[in-house]
Structure 1
Amino acid sequence: MKDRELIELEGFPPLSLSVRHFSLMNSLLTVFNSTEPGDPENTIAQFFLEHFENLDQLNVYDVAEECYTSRSGIRRFCQSIGFDNFSALKACAWEWRTHQKFFIDYTNHSSFKAHLSNEIGRMIASVNEQISDEDLDSLAQLIHDAGKVILLASDFSSMAVREFQQSMLFMHKIPQILTDSFGSEKSLESMGPSDLIIVISASGNYARAAQNQLSRSAACRVLITTNRDHGLRDFFDAVLQLSPENHYGERTVYAKYGITYVFDLVYNHYFEKFGKR
């Protein structure tokens, strides 16, 4: 089955998006969290978030009236977060159903505490089996030798990499973070053969969305994922596989806890190789 067909079956549109516009939900949350209450952008972002479930049914006249602005004001807001117009923003209504399923399926277990504990244990064992000490040493070496390091992740995976960024400061190495709502895309264009891009994409969706931009970079490319698609493996110079199973199209402990665990391991190996000096 082709990648495009698989994505559509899982509830995703064809991924022609850039890393910056990977998720409307993340973009709206970023505006909502970074602006003052009463600010026009805050008001519009909050309205879209509160009505996300029925986004495709919204009328621009009603939105403008509810947000105390004009149609041109709504259009400018849409353009400020990467969409050509209100219609293009409405086309992302599919996100509600997809993410709702992810979060509900993840927690919908009769004994969630026992289920989660068991899944985290299985995840740790799986990561330890899939990623060897040699793999971790190699990645630590790549990070050390790279002139510039970019950590490329969706907002859903960004907490782990932000903590890793802070910890690397004490190793005198400062990776740059780029997510769908944080950082500058222009940084990718300036990457050369001596630089390193680490893409964190548990399901593989974000990696696919980033491929077009990454293909224009001469930097070494490393992927951390659970997706076992051969197309992704062929595109990247190295792949750290978190699981022997393909977890495409679902929210798992690999995305929530596995990424943090892997970067803890990477940091430890970096410290052992270079920090003690």
Structure 2
Amino acid sequence: MTGDRPSWAPESIDLDRPNAARIYDYLLGGAANFEQDRVFAAKLLEVMPLARSAARLNRAFLRRAVRFCAEQGIRQFVDIGSGIPTAGNVHEIAQAADPGARVLYVDNEPVAVTHSDLLLKDTPGAEAMLGDLTDPGPVLASPLIDYSRPVALLMVAVLHFIPDSAEPHDAVARYVSALSPGSFLVLSHGVENPSLEGRAEVDRLYQESSTPGVRRTPDDITRFFHGLEFVEPGLVWTPEWRPDSPEDVGEHPEASLVFAGVARKP
């Protein structure tokens, strides 16, 4: 595979192992992915055809949540696990509300950061950094964001790639403790469903990737919001969170596979 490495791909990227950010990019119709990611995605869609629509519903939730936060006066956004840029990026929505809005994208996937840097080179107030959700220090030290003022902290479809052994609840609590009152936590997470068709096969697939996944129960997901106040409608399936129209929810919102919520720090 190394001979097929694109000129923009950092040498640190392992092209032989699929990665969640690049798989997600492929499911969303992006082009910043490699053959192994596409092979993985094809297998994933064989055992769980809902995966593509679930990815798109999750992305739509992100856009609505960012728009909501901007309407509440938030002008600083920190998107952790931001992934590879695609249509309707956070900075586009935030800066449409206020051109002075600041956006910090954080991801531990070099492809995501490289593409973000290319996208943002002519965009004042928006930056990307290589970082890890479980290591809050460097993110909280970024000079782009003033944590003494309200921030929208985005952790969308990222925590289900962090095992309990990495103590994700503690990491989220550290970020939240650094936020000023009036800040928001925007979060989505795959839900544990023992009866889900294809569940075991999906687990086996992700164990072969560089980013094995973990689903959590609604109670475990709710714990990430400890000390915060949910905004309506609370923790729900992604299409149920403030849909643009009732038709967007559909008859089976549970087919989205992912819970989502937004909560305010009092």
Q: TM-score range by the shorter chain?
A: 0.3 to 0.5
Q: TM-score, normalised to structure 1's length?
A: 0.35
Specify which structure has the higher proportion of helix: 1
Higher-Rg structure is 1
Q: TM-score, normalised to structure 2's length?
A: 0.36
